[in-house]
Structure 1
């Protein structure tokens, strides 16, 4: 269920207060690992308070304060294991451990969004937020989740240049997207244990106590389309990670070098495509 109340302060301003109770089904390995046999859905109370201002037909601003309180969260049965599904990015991370649904979590954020809708062939969207994401496992200790970036900043903009000649329309366009995320939490590598095992072993007694470097990425898209009655062709060049920055993905124990190393994400990725529509 979801409840929402909107109060108009005038022609340009409105306040929105909302509450929702949401549930989410988990991946199959979570239910196979259920130690109780009566697995509930993960649930969350969502609260939000927002102020929206419409400066013009093409330009608006929104400031939103939000909070989520999660419960019935699958966590490891053992109090010595800080595992929670709130940290997983792939179902294989569940493994063969036994789970209970007594974990919890909370997220809260303050987000500012400035948006110019497509007007005179130009648009942009700027969104920044301050946020925290925390969870509790079976031991009741509150820790940052794997996704607790603390701050995010996203900027997207685009411009089109159109030329009409008879029944033919040629459009040239450019889109730019920039992302800045705070460094994500990470569990440190247990070097002595990794040396003995000959593979990476993490120190789960210090789960999510380290921080990766901040994440930066810049994407560029150039395109040309030609349209006439009944069909349209589109050439586009997408350049992902324009600056070829290799952000950190995770750290592991390199058995060859005998030390902890960083796994990097991919650098610049160009994608050229052509599409015909009828």
Structure 2
């Protein structure tokens, strides 16, 4: 079986600055301050081989080749004092190009997975997954294994382990750092795959014919995360929390982190005209930058609760039509964020400066939504 696919993702971020009169708050001037365009194309070819050697043993193997094409452009003049303002209108005369990347690279993956059934109640899954990124010749082999035991007719216990590698976001990997001669140099291409050891313990139980309960505990040990060479709170584990990627060069794959959590799921399959699904997740997400200080990540919300339910009433002749009602409720803990250094921001011409030593020490209010 061979599959060919194409994926296109594009984001654009535009920031306009508005200057207002301090006394009247009247708008005096508006200008384009930042332009960010990130475009990623991915062409995929995958093939898979399946063979059942016996009633007990099945093998699945395959390969995936993904050709990445990335275009990333960042132009900025947001409160920049290093750009002249010849006519004194408080608008920097031109944009400074912080990133201009147009690059392509293949990512090659191969895997083999075996499933062996010891008995009707006990089965094991084991295999290897490999990745190779051409642009920096980085390779990774990932062992994975799982064991599932149905110790009672309606109850199952599972345990799993796996090493997982994640590609460093390409705008970071291909970042062009300004040099003293006015040029650019790529100083992040030596970054390796971001890696993590995953361990999962799960309990699954059917409650009659319509209900299901699942409880899962997990722990992830993260390592080889991109951090700065000099002591700082930065780590690439927090990338993705904002609209744009960081502009940092000379990163090294020496950061660490941990994720641990407990998730409870209760599901009512559709029957008797209604369905319901509830999940409660309690988790902790921490990391260490090159300064060796453990902090919350940008995604350390602490808890997430989702409740989903729906009801259907047959209407019309012979009940061929139906009136339906669906509702969803979501709540989560507030996302951590880094405080702004107001004095340093004012001294920097209004350009935001964060208190890096207090990274992700504050939290937004809890999130609530009902649909």
Answer whether TM exceeds 0.5 for this pair.
Answer: yes
- CA gap of 1:70–1:91, structure 2 versus 1, over 3 A, is farther
Number of corresponding residues: 217
TM-score computed with the length of structure 2 as normaliser: 0.55
Give 2:299's match in structure 1, choosing from 132, 135, 147: 147
In 2, the alpha carbon distance for the partners of 1:174 and 1:55 equals 25
Name the residue aligned to 1:84. Answer: 235
Name the residue aligned to 2:163. Answer: 21
* Structure 2 residue 275 is the aligned partner of structure 1 residue 160: no
Contact 1:29–1:91 (CA<8 Å) still a contact in 2?
no
In 1, the alpha carbon distance for the partners of 2:197 and 2:191 equals 19
TM-score computed with the length of structure 1 as normaliser: 0.73
SS in 1 for 2:245: helix
In 2, the alpha carbon distance for the partners of 1:75 and 1:134 equals 14
In 2, the alpha carbon distance for the partners of 1:183 and 1:18 equals 30
| RMSD over aligned Cα atoms | 1.9
In 2, the alpha carbon distance for the partners of 1:26 and 1:138 equals 17
Aligned ranges 1:111-150 → 2 under 5 Å: 111-150=263-302
Once the 2 structures are TM-superposed, how far is the Cα of residue 5 of structure 1 from its aligned partner? 0.7
Name the residue aligned to 2:227. Answer: 75
4+ runs of 1 displaced by more than 4 Å? none
Once the 2 structures are TM-superposed, how far is the Cα of residue 36 of structure 1 from its aligned partner? 6.2
Unaligned stretches of 5+ residues in structure 2: 1-142, 176-185
In 2, the alpha carbon distance for the partners of 1:165 and 1:20 equals 54
Contact 2:275–2:311 (CA<8 Å) still a contact in 1?
yes
Give 2:324's match in structure 1, choosing from 170, 173, 198: 173
- Larger Cα Rg: Structure 1 or Structure 2? 2
Aligned ranges 1:179-218 → 2 under 5 Å: 179-197=330-348, 198-218=350-370
* Structure 2 residue 210 is the aligned partner of structure 1 residue 58: yes
Unaligned stretches of 5+ residues in structure 1: 220-278
In 2, the alpha carbon distance for the partners of 1:85 and 1:91 equals 14
Name the residue aligned to 1:260. Answer: none
The CA deviation string for residues 159-216 of structure 1, in whole angstroms up to 9 with x for no partner, is: 12233637x9322212111111111111011111122222332111110111111111
Name the residue aligned to 1:265. Answer: none
In 2, the alpha carbon distance for the partners of 1:56 and 1:157 equals 19
Name the residue aligned to 2:44. Answer: none
In 2, the alpha carbon distance for the partners of 1:75 and 1:32 equals 15
In 2, the alpha carbon distance for the partners of 1:82 and 1:204 equals 6
The CA deviation string for residues 243-277 of structure 1, in whole angstroms up to 9 with x for no partner, is: xxxxxxxxxxxxxxxxxxxxxxxxxxxxxxxxxxx
In 2, the alpha carbon distance for the partners of 1:145 and 1:169 equals 51
